[in-house]
């Protein structure tokens, strides 16, 4: 295998993958009886909560003449379009009323639907299942259910704390994701006196293995060159600390750190908003350090700082990407990025052919890099 591929134009396919759950909005931003705008995979949505608090997601375009539904009224049950007052059930999207019809006009309004998407609240977010574009419940078709469950942050005890962070990134979802799995930017982007110094860069080797729809960086004792990990081992009184990081299509990074009874778990997603716009959302749950004053706040601060550093870096990168320059991925540091593109291509090919998905990894691999 050549260790350097010929430089290529960026994002051979900045394709967005339909047929998955995506985080649409932080749950605490979505109030009862209100309508909110959101965009997922270039599709405008209107998101709300009914009077019982249950979330819903409709396509933000009236099936009559396309008026955005978020401009309308919502009484906690039905959404009323602001143009001609057609009313739709917020969950099913089914038309309930067309005010202009006279009593002898027998249009079957229950055959009309505003596009509606499966929508659920999980771990501080409103999630929406994005079916293939096209007739997703709009016009005369009912919405279909989601074929899989909403992803979830893994928890290892009944009591835990949780927090979330969100940041918009002005790059395609592909750049957002490979930025997330890139091990070589740490010493340059995430420098801080309490985390690590640039001089602490050293050679690492990590084991990776294929998992369904993704790959796993296998459990290991985290690098000893950062103070928080040393602290954790001391505090948890555990012989070892294990970290597992999974990447799973379309956009999920799941990290688990366990030390004895202590655990930290997060689910980070990079959500495609448009061709060159994505959003990173991190939800973390943990039972570590809860008894120690200030530590949870410090953890949140550290996390927010990392995400802000990544966001700022991608904002600068977006400048460079504007003219669509040739780019390259190198071994081994960019191998996870190559697997990501491989997984995406394999997924699309399996969908096209109707066959099994061919995983780009044939077995466990050890990667080496300096960081």
Dump the DSSP string for 231-273.
Answer: HHHHHHT-S--EEEEEEETTTEEEEEEEETTEEEEEEEEEEEE
One residue of 40, 81, 171, 248 binding ligand FES per CB under 6 A: 81
Three-class DSSP category at 57: strand
Residue whose tokens read 């948890």? 236
CB distance 285 to 258 below 8 Å? no
Residue whose tokens read 């396509």? 59
Is 101 a residue that touches ligand FES (CB under 6 A)?
no
Is 83 a residue that touches ligand FES (CB under 6 A)?
yes
Closest approach, Cβ 63 to ligand FES, in A, equals: 8
Is 230 a residue that touches ligand FES (CB under 6 A)?
no
Specify the residue, 93 or 187, whose C-beta has the smaller distance to ligand FES.
Answer: 93
Question: Which range of residues in 77-85, 101-109, 137-145, 204-212 is near ligand FES by CB under 6 A?
Answer: 77-85
Closest approach, Cβ 249 to ligand FES, in A, equals: 36
Output phi, psi for 300, to 5 deg.
-65, -40
Strand partners, 196: 192
Question: Which range of residues in 64-72, 130-138, 207-215, 268-276 is near ligand FES by CB under 6 A?
Answer: 64-72
Among 72, 69, 89, 75, CA closest to 33: 75
Specify the residue, 174 or 310, whose C-beta has the smaller distance to Fe ion.
Answer: 310
CA pair distance 170, 165, nearest whole angstrom: 17
Is 74 a residue that touches ligand FES (CB under 6 A)?
no
Which among ligand FES, Fe ion, none contacts residue 84 (Cβ within 5 to 8 A by kind)?
Answer: ligand FES
CA pair distance 298, 192, nearest whole angstrom: 14
Site string for Fe ion, 288-327 (x = CB under 5 A): ----------------------x-----------------
Q: Which residues bind ligand FES (CB under 6 A)?
A: 62, 64-65, 67, 81, 83-84, 86
């Amino acid at each position: 295998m050549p260790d350097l591929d010929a430089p290529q134009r960026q994002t051979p396919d900045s394709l967005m993958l339909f047929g998955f759950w995506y985080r649409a909005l932080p749950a605490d931003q979505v109030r009862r009886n209100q309508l909110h705008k959101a965009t997922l995979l270039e599709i405008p949505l209107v998101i709300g909560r009914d009077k019982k608090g249950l979330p819903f997601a409709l396509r933000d375009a009236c099936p009559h003449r396309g008026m955005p539904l978020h401009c309308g009224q919502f009484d906690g049950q039905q959404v009323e379009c602001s143009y001609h007052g057609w009313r739709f059930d917020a969950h099913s999207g089914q038309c309930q009323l067309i005010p202009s019809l006279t009593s002898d006009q027998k249009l079957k309004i229950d055959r009309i639907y505003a596009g509606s998407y499966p929508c659920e609240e999980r771990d501080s977010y409103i999630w929406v299942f994005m079916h293939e574009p096209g007739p997703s419940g709009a016009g005369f078709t009912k919405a279909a259910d989601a074929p899989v469950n909403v992803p979830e942050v893994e928890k290892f005890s009944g009591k835990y704390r949780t927090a979330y962070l969100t940041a918009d990134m002005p790059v395609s979802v592909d750049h957002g994701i490979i930025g997330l799995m890139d091990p070589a930017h740490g010493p340059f982007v995430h420098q801080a006196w309490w985390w690590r110094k640039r001089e602490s860069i050293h050679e690492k080797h990590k084991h990776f293995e294929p998992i369904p729809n993704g790959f796993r960086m296998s459990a290991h004792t985290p690098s000893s060159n950062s103070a928080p990990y040393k602290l954790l081992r001391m505090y948890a009184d555990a012989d070892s600390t294990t970290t597992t990081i999974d990447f799973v299509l379309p956009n999920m990074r799941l990290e688990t750190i366990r030390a004895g009874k202590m655990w930290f778990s997060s689910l980070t997603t990079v959500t495609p908003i448009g061709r060159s716009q994505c959003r990173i959302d991190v939800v973390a749950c943990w039972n570590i350090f809860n008894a120690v004053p200030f530590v949870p706040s410090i953890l949140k601060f550290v996390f927010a700082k990392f995400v802000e550093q990544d966001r700022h870096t991608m904002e600068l990168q977006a400048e460079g990407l504007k003219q669509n320059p040739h780019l390259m991925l190198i071994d081994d540091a960019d191998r996870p990025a190559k697997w990501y593109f491989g997984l995406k291509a394999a997924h699309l090919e399996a969908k096209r052919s109707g066959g099994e998905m061919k995983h780009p990894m044939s077995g466990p691999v050890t990667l080496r890099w300096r960081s």
